[in-house]
Amino acid sequence: MARRFRMDMRRTSLLVAAITLGIALLILWLGYRHDREVDLLISEGQLVQGRQLYREFGSCSGRNGCDPDLVHVAYDVDGTTYRTSMPADSSREREPLFDQALIEVPALGPQQPFQVIYLPADPEVSRVRADLRKSDVAVYGTAGMFGLIGLVAGWMGLFVLRRRGR
């Protein structure tokens, strides 16, 4: 009975390791993709003046934390209207854990409200200039946390819970 329990724990540990390492890799890939898109916008992006469509107010509750307010912005490129959004500063009770640094792009001139940087090759790829940021400590820290959990679970499954007598 104890041997069967040990094998079930080993399989469970290896499954947990595989799932958490997969989640860590997914988060890293999404963060890298976001950073690559921001770099592409900085190097090849064009600037257009957008206009605010509406503001979506987030909710704040004790259990779920605060969802940020979103400002939805429309911008026109060659007669076609596109939309994007950005989190808005809100006067909530809590301060953010990590304060991301805004990327300044002096080549585009002085910043004005609701300016949008878009890729000429694909105008749907865009960011509001006031929200041009790279992935921060929270994204890579979360990936690291899942990676660490996966490594510990994998170590447990491979070495601690292995069969005796082999």
For 36-88, what is each residue's pLDDT tens digit?
Answer: 999 999 888 889 999 888 888 766 554 445 566 888 899 999 889 999 988 87
CA 119 – CA 95 distance, rounded (Å): 33
Q: Is the predicted pLDDT of residue 102 greater than 50, yes or no?
A: yes
What is the three-class DSSP state of 53?
Answer: strand
Count of CA atoms in the C-beta half-sphere (13 A) of 137: 6
Whether pTM exceeds 0.75: no
Using a pLDDT cut of 90, give the percent of the chain over it.
Answer: 33
What is the three-class DSSP state of 52?
Answer: strand
For 17-27, what is each residue's pLDDT tens digit?
Answer: 999 999 999 99
- What are the domain boundaries of the chain? 12-160
CA 65 – CA 58 distance, rounded (Å): 10
Average pLDDT score, the chain: 83
